[in-house]
Structure 1
Amino acid sequence: MGAPAAAAAGAGQGEGEGKEYPDRLTLYVFLTCTVAATGGLIVGYDIGISGGVTSMDAFLQEFFPSVYREERTARGGGGGQYCKFDSQLLTAFTSSLYLAALVASFFVASVARSLGRRWSMFGAGVSFLAGAALNAAARDVAMLIVGRILLGVGIGFAGLSIPIYLSEMAPHRLRGTLNIGLQLMITVGIFSANLVNYGAARIRGGWGWRLSLGLAAVPAGIITAGSLFLPDTPSSLISRGYHEQARRVLRRIRGTHDVEDEYGDLVAASEAPGAVRRPWLDILRRRYRPQLAMAVLVPFFQQLTGINAIMFYAPVLFKTIGLGGDASLMSAVITGLVNIAATFVSIATVDRLGRRKLFFQGGCQMLLCQIIIGTLIGVEFGASGDGTIPKAFAAAVVALICVYVAGFAWSWGPLGILVPSEIFPLEIRPAAQGVSVAVSMLCTFAVAQAFLPMLCRMQFGLFYFFGGWVLAMTLFVAAFLPETKGVPIEKMGVVWRTHWFWRRFVADEDGRAGNRDVEMDYRKAEGIAVR
């Protein structure tokens, strides 16, 4: 115990001299973060595959025959377009995964805290493999839903452990860029699923849906195998008492032996809170109120952008506005490409422009698109939902959805994952990320469960509904979210102590004097008067 204490003392001295940590991007840290980010493939593949499979006639005939009959009637002009996919059993198939992920998130935090981040990622892959196998072999709806539950457990593990892993491994000046690699993999997973659906729907014999569901084993296998070769993060190793191993990992990921200052600060960050033993209760303390608010509100708002509703049901939605089956699947492929391209914009700009500017610009873009899409669909279908839509009109709606997806993909998509993963102090980080994942899964479950009934009852007004939430979240970011660009993860407390609203909740006992240089640098960078 003497070495860590000495290192912590040394860290305080180095900090007083204003020395910065090594922050270059080494090949080793790039490779480890890339492998960890591939866990996003399982999340993205599921988002993309669900809507495509539920638009395949063979799948509907076998498991949801009443929905198939309604869809055929509407296709022949004998019913309204808005309600043809309204089935609680069908939405239960989609949303059961997110309910399982919600439940899993409450115990995954304990696994990540006691066993480390990499074994949590391994658990994600194994659970997703089992779920993929069960879904591909499904004979009835019960098997489908049990398979979805196993997939949900995997997503719960991945959603908690991977963002923390990336934020803890990345150099602080590149944390945003490397963390958004997870969102990039999610978009690649969505795009891959859309391609698979497009090909599987054309397979004769009606078994293409089994291929779509079974190929989820591919991204699951990648993260399962990859996690076996990853090191755990220095923060996780220190918190579990493996100090020398943490030093070795830190030297390797930073590409230098000069890591004592960063190592010392990591040790201090793990010991300063007084050995927190009840993180699920301690997170409720006043000093953690700002982080808890963000852990709840950021994922809450992210799901109420309406993006998952559109990505879940993109083929169904495009069918609803009058595109044929193949055309609707191809339109989903196009939106997937836009999603990937726009994520690269976020990767290139997040550590230069900062989080707040991207949040604000993306929110304004999404709001405008939601209003125009709702108006266009309302003009064409009205409240009854009867009729068909001209091809040129449908193309305009698809184009606007692409613009909307782009706005999400460089703002709320990646930043909704990045910001919660980087703002928590080490002592409550797994529990707080568990709260964030639980809120995200609960909201995703609610939106997935409610989207088709809401489309049926609210018609084109559904887009105005989501637009209202986009307006609210954009105003929230402008007023309450501090900028976290370039702040070392173990010194993140400074952003709350310098914020006009949140500073009233953060006590000086967090070590204000020890972070004086970082706080002054942050104030200068943000244009805040230094007193």
Structure 2
Amino acid sequence: WYACMQSVPVYLSEMAPAHLRGMLNIGFQLMITIGILAAELINYGTNKIKGGHGWRVSLALAAVPAVIITVGALFLPDTPNSLMERGHPEASRRMLRRIRGTDDIGEEYADLVAAREISKQVQHPWRNILMRKYRAQLTMAVLIPFFQQVSGINVINFYAPVLFETLGFKGDASLLSSVMTGGVLVLGSVVSMFTVDRLGRRKLFLQGGAQMLVSQIAVGTLIAVRFGTSGVGEMPRGYAAAVVLFICVYVAGFVWSWGALGWLVPSEIFPLEIRSAGQSITVSVNMLFTFVIAQAFLTMLCHMKFGLFYFFAGWVVIMTAFVALFLPETKNVPMEEMVLVWKGHWFWSRFIGDADDIHTGVNVLGK
């Protein structure tokens, strides 16, 4: 799983043309959400197997997609960026022609050549990523996956049955409710696929953040009214339906903003010379805080009760403000020219001087 999250977003970003990079990359997110929905449906079905052996069937079926991924990976070609990085310029040129379907690749190929020349000068990418001129990319590699996890989405993904049982659903009803949220994940990914390259990353981040904030406050308030600070009470059918509705609205807002873009944006912002190191940091931070939230959730729910939803809503405010202030728009920008985006930003430009513009040669060679 770690290897997939490390390599697939970068692979897709490098293979895709700039104007379709968002849509094709979010196809990865769509497949993940389809997998989550399939897992929820399997769990719902195997829960009915008598004798308590359903969990074995559910666990064994996870081997099916693993085999498909392993076999399918054998047929994947190398990206032009990877071929260039490993010293195969002609193979890189041929692959670029193949995936673009045209011989008019001069400008994009020149960008790759210039990026390769810079990359050869970098002997220690893990050390270089700490340099001042990469401060913007490093900040995004840490904070975007951190914010993605403290949004509270894994509370829904990991503990949906437990959460729904707490709200008054029982047995199969709790599993069925989690299937419902899995369906919302799929639909939200489809929305994101067809809007990310039109509306841009920032608009989806900001709209999704506002939707998540309203939903979290609504869920927390509905639970507070019925359960109070004691955590004891009854939830009528209408209240329970309203809670599920707002949870679905929250999940939809997350999946077409932070869910999809949390992987897309880090995969497209790093220059070639530090790309692998940057993506490794992104995945590591994501996995670390996935673990932390998973371990802490039940204890937090017991102590904070409805306040847990306000807690995550507070983080949504912070992360949405962060995007508004510090994340520039990256749609339709070739990956090897992304440094120009940071250089034009009101805050990050102070970290990139003219002497540090490592892709000055891109414009000369490419244009």
> What's 1:452 paired with?
298
Deviation at 1:273, TM superposition (A): 4.3
Matched with 2:86 is 240
The residue number in structure 2 matching 1:254 is: 100
Return the offset for 1:302: 0.7
| 251, 255, 265: which one aligns with 1:419 | 265
2:209 is matched with 363
Correspondence list, 1:480-491, <5 A? 480-491=326-337
Q: In structure 2, what is the Cα distance between the partners aligned to 1:288 and 1:419? A: 15
Partners in 2 of 1:213 and 1:391 — Cα distance? 33
1:89-104 matches, within 5 Å, as: none
Q: How far is 1:261 from its partner?
A: 2.6
Alignment of 1:378-389 (within 5 A): 378-389=224-235
Alignment match of 2:112 (pick from 242, 262, 266): 266
Residue pairs, 1:172-191, within 5 angstroms: 172-191=18-37
After superposition, residues 93-492 of structure 1 pair within 5 angstroms as 155-492=1-338
Separation in 1, partners of 2:322, 2:38: 34
Alpha-carbon RMSD across the aligned residues, in angstroms, is 1.6
Any idea what the Cα deviations from partners look like across 1:26-46, whole Å, max 9, x if unmatched? xxxxxxxxxxxxxxxxxxxxx
Report if aligned partners of 2:209, 2:257 keep a CA contact under 8 Å in 1: yes
* Secondary structure of the structure 1 residue equivalent to 2:317: helix
**Structure 2 unaligned blocks of 5 or more:** none
Kept in 1: contact 2:85–2:119 (CA 8 A) = no
Equivalent pair of 2:6/2:283 in contact (CA under 8 Å)? yes
| Partner residue in 2 for 1:107 | none
Query: Could you list the per-position Cα deviations for residues 269-327 of structure 1 after superposition, in whole angstroms to 9, with x for gaps in the alignment?
Result: 12124521111111000010000000001111111110012111111110111101100
Whole-angstrom CA distance in 2 between matches of 1:344 and 1:175? 15
CA spacing shift, 1:424–1:341, aligned 2, 3 Å: same
Q: Distance between the aligned counterparts of 1:371 and 1:198, measured in 2?
A: 29
**Alpha-carbon distance in structure 1 between the residues aligned to 2:48 and 2:123:** 55
Counterpart code for 1:294: M
The Cα shift of 1:188 comes to: 0.5
Secondary structure of the residue aligned to 2:232 is: coil
2:362 & 2:121 partners in 1: Cα distance? 20
Deviation of 1:512 after TM superposition, in Å, equals 6.4
What is the Cα deviation at residue 453 of structure 1?
A: 0.7
Which structure has the greater CA radius of gyration?
A: 1
Separation in structure 2 between the aligned mates of residue 354 and residue 515 of structure 1, nearest angstrom:
24
Range that drifts further, 213-222 or 457-466: 213-222
Structure 2 residue aligned with 1:83 = none
Aligned to 1:80: none
Matched-pair contact (CA < 8 Å) for 1:494–1:515 = no
Tell me the distance in 2 between the aligned counterparts of 1:491 and 1:304: 31
**Is the 8 Å Cα contact of residues 215 and 249 (structure 2) preserved in structure 1?**
yes
Q: 1:513 to 1:226 in 2, by over 3 A?
A: closer
Write the distance in 1 (CA, Å) between the matches of 2:285 and 2:220. Answer: 27
Contact 2:114 2:361 in 1 (8 A): no
TM-score by length of 1: 0.67
SS at match of 2:280: helix
Instruction: Give the length in aligned residue pairs.
Output: 365
- Residue 260 (structure 1) shift: 3.0
- CA deviation after TM superposition for structure 1 residue 402, in Å: 0.3
Cα deviations by residue, 1:152-205 (Å, 9 ceiling, x for unpaired): xxx211111001000000001110010101111111011001100100111111
Greater relative contact order: 1 or 2 (C-alpha under 8 angstroms, separation 6 or more)? Answer: 2
Q: Which amino acid counterpart does residue 492 of structure 1 have in structure 2?
A: M
Counterpart AA for 1:362? G
Cα separation, 1, equivalents of 2:320 and 2:192? 17
Instruction: Give the fraction of aligned pairs with identical amino acids, expressed as a percent.
Output: 64
CA–CA distance in 1 between the matches of 2:332 and 2:103? 22
Quote the Cα distance in structure 2 between the aligned partners of 1:267 and 1:211.
Answer: 51
Aligned to 1:505: 351
Which deviations, in whole Å up to 9, do the C-alpha atoms of 1:13-64 show, x marking residues without a partner? xxxxxxxxxxxxxxxxxxxxxxxxxxxxxxxxxxxxxxxxxxxxxxxxxxxx
Give secondary structure in 1 for the equivalent of 2:49. Answer: coil
* CA apart distance, 1:514: 4.2
The letter of the residue matching 2:54 is G
Query: Structure 1: which 5+ runs fail to align?
Result: 1-154, 519-531
Q: Which amino acid aligns with 1:278?
A: H
Contact kept, 8 Å, 2:112 with 2:336, in 1: the verdict is yes
Deviations 1:73-92 (A, max 9, x none): xxxxxxxxxxxxxxxxxxxx
1:409 Cα deviation from its structure 2 partner = 1.2
1:503 maps to amino acid:
S
Distance 2:117 2:123 in 1: 12
What SS does the corresponding residue of 1:232 show, helix, strand or coil?
coil
The question of whether the paired residues in 1 share the 8 Å contact of 2:37 and 2:179 is answered with: yes
Taking structure 2 as the reference length, the TM-score comes to: 0.96
CA distance in 2, matches of 1:410, 1:349: 9
